[in-house]
Each structure stands twice: as C-alpha cells, then as structure tokens.
Amino acid sequence: MANKDPIRVGILFSESGATSTIGLSQLQGALLAVDEINDTGGIDGRELQPVHYDPESNPARYADLTERLIHRDGVNVIFGCYMSSSRKAVIPIIEKWNKLLFYPTLYEGFEYSANVIYTGAAPNQNSVQLAEFITSNFGARVYLIGSDYIYPYESNRIMGELVLQRQGSEKLAECYVPLDATERDFADVMLDIRNKRPDFIFSTVVGDSTAALYRAYADAGFDPKTMPIASLTTSEAEISQMDRGLAAGHYTSAPYFQSIDSDANRHCLANLRRRFGDSCVPNLCWEASYFQMHIFANAMRHAGNDDILTLMPYILGSEFDAPQGRVKIDPTNHHTCLYPRIGRVNSDGQFTIVRQARRSVYPDPYLVTHSLGDWAARLDTLDKLEC
C-alpha cells in the first residue's frame, strides 16, 4: 500500500525578539505554501506537517531548536532563519547530521554549504545594483550604519568597496547600534551625519529598530531628495512599524516588492489575504519563504523521500514561477537566480519600482564579478523605468 504518512518539516522563524515582524511574515509565507500544497493533494497524497518553534531572534535558541527538530521531531528538512547570526548557529548542526536548511533571506554572501539552499539575494543581486543606482543619482560619499552583528559588518564592507570604485567617492563613517536600538541610540549618529553631509546613508540596520532610525532621520530634518537612506533590509514589514509617510522617498534594493504588477503576484497576495487576513505584511523574505517551500515540494514529488542525498539532485537546477518571476536554483552554488529591483518608498508605505531586471541574474555569492564596471556590462538586462 502507498505510504500516506505525513511528511514533517521543521520551521524556525522568530515571532518574538528583535526581528519578529519580518520573522512572522516568513512563517506566514511558509505556511501559505504548505496550505497550497496540502490543498492540492500534498506530496502524492502525503500531507506536509509543519513543526514550528519560535527561536525568539536568538542564535543560541536557533541552535537548540535545530537539535530538537532533528532528534526529537525526526525532521530532515528545516526552513528558517533571518539574521545571519542565526544561520551561522544552525549550519554546523545541519552539516553534522547531514540535514537540509532552506534559508530565505538576503545575506552577505561569501558562503557555501552543501547542506543549505539559499533563496534570498546574494550581494551581486542587490548591493551591486543599489550602489550603481544610488551613486549615479545622488553621489558616492557614503555614511554606513548598521546593527551590531555579522551581516551589517560584511554588507557594509561590500557596499564600501563598491562605492569606492566611483569617482569622488568617500567612506565617511561606519557605525553600529545595538539590535534593540531606540531613537536615542541614533542621536549622535544624526549629529555626525549633519557634520559630514554624505550623499547617501547606507543602512544595514535590521528588524524592529529600523523604525527608530527613520524617525531619528526625520526628526533631524533631513531630506530624502538630497540624502536618502538606501537599504537592503528596510522592507514593507519594517515600514509597517513606522508612522505613515516616515520612510517616503528612501530606497531599498530587493528582488520582490508587494507592488509588483503581475498575475502571479496578485494571485499569491489574494491567497495570503484569504488565509491570514490583513495581519501579514508581504516582503522580500516572505516571498522567498513562500516559493522555497514549493521548490522543496516539487523536488519531493520526484525524489519520493526527504533524505538530503535523494532530494538534492531534484532541487538543484529546479525552477518555479514565483511572485517576483521565474526563479531557478543554481546547481553549482546552491543560491537562486533572482530579479534585482530598486524601489522608492511612497506615501502609502509601498514601493514604487524605479528599476528592475528584465531577466533573472545568476547568483555570484563570492562576487567574482565584483566591480560596478563589471555590472555595467550587464546593464542592458536592466529595464530603466523611472529615476
């Protein structure tokens, strides 16, 4: 008789702590995809059964819960993590027991694990485009500010190097605030920005403290038309925690924005509203969390079981019609072909897309093609809509 046992999958997204808003959206993206898969017969009649814990935005909790999912819950595949510090805590355990992690978040790159599938943007799919766009439109004197952990250090290093390829560039400062920073933590930074007068601020601040940065900027009386904040981590989720209009005029580079005008996106958002009402704030990490579950399910249909050795050949090279466009897992580096976009926040807290790639851009997590000049050779793939 055919096996009708449910297939357990582990889910580790934070519903509490510093990155709870974006973590909750990632959880909802994963659960939406699970519902869609189960509503259409599961995996050959077998239901996906999510086992979810809240790691509280705490890397040590991520590590403990990974052990628990593997040893107590008998899970082979885990979907999870936002902060790179949590991914770094999970990977050694995943590798030790030869399990599989799907990671749906933009990150700093310069990493490969045979046990991880990376579905968020690598730096050549967001930082390079943001550097090119912002320095062309505003200038190349940058002020770097981030949260105090590994992703901001590395992402700021990459942005600093990209910007320094421009004429007249200058790295004016690089500073860090605690993960739970409040507006007071940004007071001295704003004074320093007033003195140094950068062309733009690059923010690698993450999570709930993002709202405090934009509030401090507005209270300082700065103008995004002449000195915008450019970011990879300020999404619709962080903007939803701000007063209306606070982030208007600032820029984010991401493969997905809620405002993408396509049938696939509209259909997915309608399903989301039916399942979760208006409580979910779709964003780049929500979308990656959603489509990676479908990539897993499609591979499972071919593989028949979720052991990494059996499953991986069906994941690598696989494609899916995601809300951002058709994505593909690169078989050589386990990252994903994605569509770089630049969005400017409008007064509704949504993004007006001012530039987008016409074709997906392959992932190059080690930035082998590293310079803005290299990117310019590929600018023909970018569709300039508005600047």
Select 27 or 48, whichever has its Cβ closest to ligand ACM. Answer: 27
Residue 124 sits in the site that holds ligand ACM (CB under 6 A)? no
DSSP state of 198: -
Nearer to ligand ACM, 237 or 299 (CB): 237
Judged by CB under 6 A, the residue of 11, 43, 83, 357 near ligand ACM is: 83
Note whether 128 binds ligand ACM by CB under 6 A.
no
CA distance from start to end of the chain: 61
Of 163 and 232, which CB lies nearer to ligand ACM in the complex structure?
232
Please say whether the beta carbons of 286 and 25 come within 8 A. yes
206 in contact with ligand ACM (CB under 6 A): yes
The site that binds ligand ACM (CB under 6 A) totals a number of residues, namely 8
Helix ranges (H only) for 164-276 are 187-196, 210-219, 236-239, 263-276
DSSP for 148-186? SSHHHHHHHHHHHHHHTTSTT-EEEEEEEE-TT--GGGG
- Establish if 105 lies at the interface with ligand ACM (CB under 6 A): yes
Residue in 107, 133, 143, 257 binding ligand ACM, rule: CB under 6 A: 107
Told to check if 21 binds ligand ACM by CB under 6 A, we report no
Residue 327, SS3 per DSSP: strand
Contact 16, 54 (CB under 8 A): yes
**Is 115 near ligand ACM (CB under 6 A)?**
no
For CA atoms 237, 243, 245, 250, give the dihedral sign. negative
Q: How far apart are CA 169 and CA 189, in angstroms?
A: 20
Binding mask 129-168 for ligand ACM (x = CB under 6 A): ----------------------x-----------------
Nearer to ligand ACM, 206 or 216 (CB): 206
CB closer to ligand ACM, 105 vs 336: 105
Instruction: Name the residue whose CB lies closest to ligand ACM.
Output: 151
Sign of the CA dihedral running 232, 236, 238, 239: positive
Q: What is residue 92's three-state secondary structure?
A: helix
Minimum Å gap between C-beta 176 and ligand ACM is 13
Query: With contact defined as beta carbons under 8 Å apart, do 148 and 176 qualify?
Result: yes
Tell me if 233 contacts ligand ACM by CB under 6 A.
yes
Q: Which positions lie near ligand ACM, rule CB under 6 A?
A: 83-84, 105-107, 151, 206, 233
